[in-house]
């Protein structure tokens, strides 16, 4: 039920920002008038969307033929206002490469709202425990943001300030809206054509894929996009940051793709119980292309950071043609057929991203493809081998998960070291060893004495 309503929230979510947040980060000279105007504009749009969804909620229930969804949609409509309030502060912190405060805000919101949600679930509130958690998360995060950040938007609203951002932001908004529509279209169609249980299984499988995306590219891209924007006129430095980021994201994305592929079944059963076992085949079909979003995320940010929003929009339109074909053709063979067609469409989308990014940087496509190839082969070989071995093992879920996790991580890391993959080398250099540990083991002394 929550998945059904989340489609509407997701489709409308990109309307709150209207691409102006990205424009604030990309623009070199930003005044308080820009921040203030965007802040109040976002809140106005958030209020408008809340009102529209609140009064249009009966249509959601009518579409899915489930009256209970009406009240759920009305409650979740307030997410638009809650998300709009903290948007500009997060953008400002991100532009200044300040990530400590928003990270703590996110952790606090997740921990407290999660605790309330779990407590309500045990008390028998059902889906309303999830609804309450969804609303409390941004509320708590925003309260912490306003407490921790001394900056406040000035009481000013200037159309000229918005117009200065709108040239770049409008195409980014259209791209974001298009992406938002297609990101939720599969859930919308599955919710309409199949049973709510089938949608629930699919939604659960897709949500686990989020962790691969988040922990392989989410945090990194939050740093890289502002960094790209700062050095966009220094071509050599720009390429250097892209090359380093691309190596690192390749290593993390393919490692997590392979890892989740082999532990996915155990993870789903342990976390959610045997009743969610039907999610496992869907999860495997989704996770095999989990690397796509992290790689694409960096490639498209190459284009947006340089301010070429026209190419960015064109790129999104081309990619959505592939996704449209997968939606039109795939469902002929059911959800599995759709997921296979979708995987093919996503791989093709990565290649299109490579074409556009290489044009922007004026480098050959092989510049990106040569980096990705060894990671693809390593993941296919290791995940395939582990999959065959797992077929003949009959361990309980917990020891099987621990064994697979440790062994795959060790072999993947050792293989990356033997192959001298740059992503592994970069990660090694970036991991900070605490001073106390370093002193205890005399790391510096050992390094200096090593031939």
Nearest to 204 by CA among 290, 294, 277, 120: 277
What tens digit of pLDDT does each residue of 26-80 get?
Answer: 777 778 888 888 888 888 888 988 898 899 889 888 887 888 889 998 999 898 8
Contact 290, 331 (CB under 8 A): no
- pLDDT band, residue 291 (cuts 50/70/90): confident
Nearest to 178 by CA among 62, 300, 90: 300
What tens digit of pLDDT does each residue of 375-420 get?
Answer: 999 999 998 888 888 777 777 888 888 888 999 999 999 999 999 9
In angstroms, rounded to a whole number, what is the distance separating the alpha carbons of residues 233 and 356?
18
| pLDDT (0 to 100) of residue 440 | 40
Nearest to 79 by CA among 17, 1, 18, 9: 9
SS3 of 17-66: the string is: HCCHHHHHHHCCCCCHHHHHHHHHHHHHHHHHHHHHHHHHHHHHHHHHCC
Instruction: Please tell me which residue, 212 or 440, carries the higher pLDDT value.
Output: 212
In angstroms, rounded to a whole number, what is the distance separating the alpha carbons of residues 95 and 88?
10
Mean pLDDT across the chain: 80
For residues 217-227, give the mean pLDDT. 62
Contact 107, 83 (CB under 8 A): no
For residues 251-266, give the mean pLDDT. 89
Q: What does the DSSP 8-state code read for residue 28?
A: S
| H/E element, 323 | helix 309-330
In angstroms, rounded to a whole number, what is the distance separating the alpha carbons of residues 51 and 48?
5
Contact 31, 161 (CB under 8 A): yes
Checking if the pLDDT of 219 tops 70, the result is: no
Ramachandran area for residue 27 (φ above 0: left; ψ -120 to 50: alpha; else beta): beta
Could you tell me which residues come within 8 angstroms of residue 149 by beta carbon, excluding any fewer than 6 positions away?
89, 93, 101
For residues 161-182, give the mean pLDDT. 69
Q: What does the DSSP 8-state code read for residue 194?
A: S
| pLDDT (0 to 100) of residue 15 | 67
* Whole-prediction pTM: 0.68
User: For the chain, what percent of residues have pLDDT higher than 90?
Assistant: 14
Checking if the pLDDT of 158 tops 90, the result is: no
Which range (49-63, 83-97, 209-223, 416-430) has the least confidence?
209-223
Contact 280, 216 (CB under 8 A): no
SS3 category, 123: coil
For residues 278-295, give the mean pLDDT. 84
Contact 225, 305 (CB under 8 A): yes
Checking if the pLDDT of 116 tops 90, the result is: yes
């Amino acid at each position: 039920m929550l998945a059904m309503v989340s489609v509407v929230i997701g489709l409308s979510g990109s309307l709150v920002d209207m691409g102006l947040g990205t424009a604030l980060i990309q623009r070199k000279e930003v005044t308080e008038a820009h921040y203030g105007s965007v802040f109040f504009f976002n809140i106005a749009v958030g209020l408008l969307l809340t009102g529209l969804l609140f009064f249009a909620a009966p249509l959601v229930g009518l579409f899915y033929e489930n009256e209970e969804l009406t009240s759920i949609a009305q409650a979740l409509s307030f997410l638009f206002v809650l998300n709009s309030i903290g948007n500009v502060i997060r953008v400002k912190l991100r532009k200044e490469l300040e990530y400590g405060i928003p990270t703590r805000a996110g952790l606090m919101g997740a921990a407290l709202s999660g605790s309330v949600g779990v407590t309500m679930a045990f008390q028998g509130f059902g889906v309303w425990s999830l609804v309450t958690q969804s609303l409390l998360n941004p509320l708590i995060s925003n309260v912490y943001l306003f407490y921790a950040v001394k900056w406040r938007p000035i009481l000013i609203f200037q159309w000229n300030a918005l117009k200065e951002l709108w040239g770049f932001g409008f195409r980014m908004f259209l791209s974001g809206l298009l992406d938002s529509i297609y990101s939720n279209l599969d859930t919308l169609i599955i919710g309409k054509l199949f049973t709510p249980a089938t949608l629930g299984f699919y939604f659960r499988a897709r949500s686990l894929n989020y962790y691969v995306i988040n922990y392989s590219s989410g945090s990194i891209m939050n740093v890289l996009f502002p960094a790209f924007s700062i050095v966009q006129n220094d071509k050599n430095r720009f390429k250097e940051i892209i090359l380093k980021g691309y190596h690192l994201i390749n290593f993390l994305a393919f490692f997590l793709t392979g890892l989740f592929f082999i532990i996915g079944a155990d993870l789903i059963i342990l976390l959610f119980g045997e009743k969610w076992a039907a999610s496992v085949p869907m999860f495997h079909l989704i996770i095999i292309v989990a690397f796509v979003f992290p790689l694409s995320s960096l490639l498209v940010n190459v284009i947006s950071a340089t301010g070429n929003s026209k190419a960015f929009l064109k790129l999104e339109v081309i990619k959505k043609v592939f996704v449209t074909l997968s939606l039109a053709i795939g469902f002929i063979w059911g959800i599995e057929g759709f997921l296979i067609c979708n995987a093919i469409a996503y791989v093709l989308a990565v290649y299109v991203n490579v074409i556009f990014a290489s044009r922007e940087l004026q480098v050959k496509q092989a510049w990106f493809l040569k980096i990705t190839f060894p990671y693809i082969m390593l993941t296919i070989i290791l995940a395939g081998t582990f999959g065959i071995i797992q077929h003949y093992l009959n361990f309980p879920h917990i020891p099987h998960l621990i064994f697979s996790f440790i062994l795959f991580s060790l072999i993947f890391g050792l293989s990356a070291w033997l192959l001298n993959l740059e992503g592994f080398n970069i990660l090694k250099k970036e991991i900070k060893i605490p001073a106390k540990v370093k002193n205890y083991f005399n790391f510096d002394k050992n390094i200096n004495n090593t031939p």
